[in-house]
């Protein structure tokens, strides 16, 4: 199958963030970057489909600053065939803008399957995949935790609140990948070396006007410092008292 996987370069979430003086962005000095978790799962899922089902191509597409080339190289390092980076200063916050640019790139690509991660670790908007599908007029299934493709058809499972939905759809299609489908493999040294020679096309992103913007960002209120109230079962009565009288949750 010819599969496109749309990936995003996001800040590593393990870092203690601080807010830049503009009040709308993170202090860049703090940041390290990596592929967004669910996008990594999507890359792995694409690789596994083509390993199982014979020849195909996995094209990794990203929208973001030049630094996203590294993120694409990482996907190439574990086996994707080629990459496309649509460059812009910063990845847009407005999912509709991102979807518009990606749809323009993907529309004549002849892809059997277009994969996204369920959500980006940073914005968490969960909108780009289904919006892109709508713009391309393709069937779309979001947040799948299980995915099978055979004979030009797909079947998937979606986790709902306390329930599972089983969904069928024809290809070509857009699918967004949740936890449960695949965990990305580690790159081998050979893979990393090979990735350097794989094609990576870089071109400016065609961005529409954003209608969803960031007014400000803040750190959530600090939690009070953790407090150990005691040891062993002897501490249980004190815990009950605190839950009743102080926290009022019991």
Partner 1 sequence: MANIFAFAEARGGELRKVALEIVAAARQAADATGGGEVHAMLVGAPGIGAKAPQLAAVGADLVIVVEHAALDRYSPEGFAATAAARIKAGGYRAAFFPASAQGKDLAPRVAAVLGVSLASDLTSFALAADALTGTHPTHTGKIITTIKLTGTPAVATVRPGAVRVTGQPRAGKVEAAAPAIDPSSARVVVKALRSSGEAKLDLGEAPVIVSGGRGLKEAANFKLVEDLAAAFGNGAVGATRAVTDDGWRDPSTQIGQTGRLVSPDLYVAVGISGAVQHLAGMRTSRVIVAINRDKDAPIFKLANYGIVGDLFEIVPVLIEAVKKARTGH
Q: Which of residues 74-133 bind partner 1 (CB under 8 A)?
A: 93-97, 99, 121-131, 133
DSSP 3-state assignment of 94?
coil
Which CB sits closer to partner 1, 81 or 94? 94
Q: Is 150 in the site for partner 1 (CB under 8 A)?
A: no
DSSP 3-state assignment of 191?
helix
- Least separation in angstroms between residue 206's CB and partner 1 is 16
Question: What are the phi and psi torsion angles at 177 (to 5°)?
Answer: -100, 130
Please state, in angstroms and rounded to a whole number, the distance separating the CA atoms of residues 7 and 15.
21
Site for partner 1 in 4-63 (CB under 8 A): 11, 13-14, 17, 26, 37-38
DSSP 3-state assignment of 32?
coil
Of the residues 69, 180, 191, 192, which one makes contact with partner 1 according to CB under 8 A = 180
Minimal CA–CA distance to 36: which of 123, 147, 131, 127? Answer: 123
Which CB sits closer to partner 1, 153 or 196? 153
Tell me the number of residues near partner 1 by CB under 8 A.
Answer: 83
Which CB sits closer to partner 1, 38 or 49? 38
Which CB sits closer to partner 1, 50 or 127? 127
Structure tokens at 247: 């926290």
Which CB sits closer to partner 1, 55 or 209? 209
Structure tokens at 185: 């493999």
Residues contacting 48, CB < 8 A, separation 6+: 182
- Least separation in angstroms between residue 198's CB and partner 1 is 27
């Amino acid at each position: 199958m010819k599969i496109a996987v749309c990936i995003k370069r996001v800040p590593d979430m393990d870092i203690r963030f601080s807010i830049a003086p503009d009040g709308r962005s993170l202090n860049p000095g703090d940041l390290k970057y990596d592929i967004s978790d669910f996008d990594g799962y999507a890359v792995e899922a694409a690789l596994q489909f083509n390993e199982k089902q014979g020849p195909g191509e996995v094209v990794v597409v990203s929208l973001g600053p030049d630094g996203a080339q590294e993120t694409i190289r990482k996907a190439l390092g574990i086996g994707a065939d080629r990459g496309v980076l649509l460059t812009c200063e910063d990845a847009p916050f407005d999912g509709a803008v991102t979807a518009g640019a990606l749809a323009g790139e993907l529309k004549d690509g002849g892809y059997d399957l277009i994969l996204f991660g369920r959500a980006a670790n940073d914005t968490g908007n969960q909108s780009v995949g289904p919006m892109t599908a709508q713009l391309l007029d393709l069937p779309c299934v979001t947040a799948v935790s299980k995915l099978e493709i055979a004979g030009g058809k797909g079947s998937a499972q979606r986790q709902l609140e306390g329930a599972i939905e089983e969904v069928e759809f024809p290809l070509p299609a857009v699918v967004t990948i949740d936890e449960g489908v695949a965990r990305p493999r580690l790159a081998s040294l050979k893979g990393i070396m090979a990735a350097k020679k794989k094609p990576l096309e870089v071109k400016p992103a065609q961005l529409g006007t954003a209608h969803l913007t960031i007014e400000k960002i803040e750190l959530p209120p600090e939690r009070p410092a953790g407090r150990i109230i005691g040891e062993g079962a002897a501490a249980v009565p004190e815990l009950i008292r605190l839950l009743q009288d102080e926290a009022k949750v019991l």
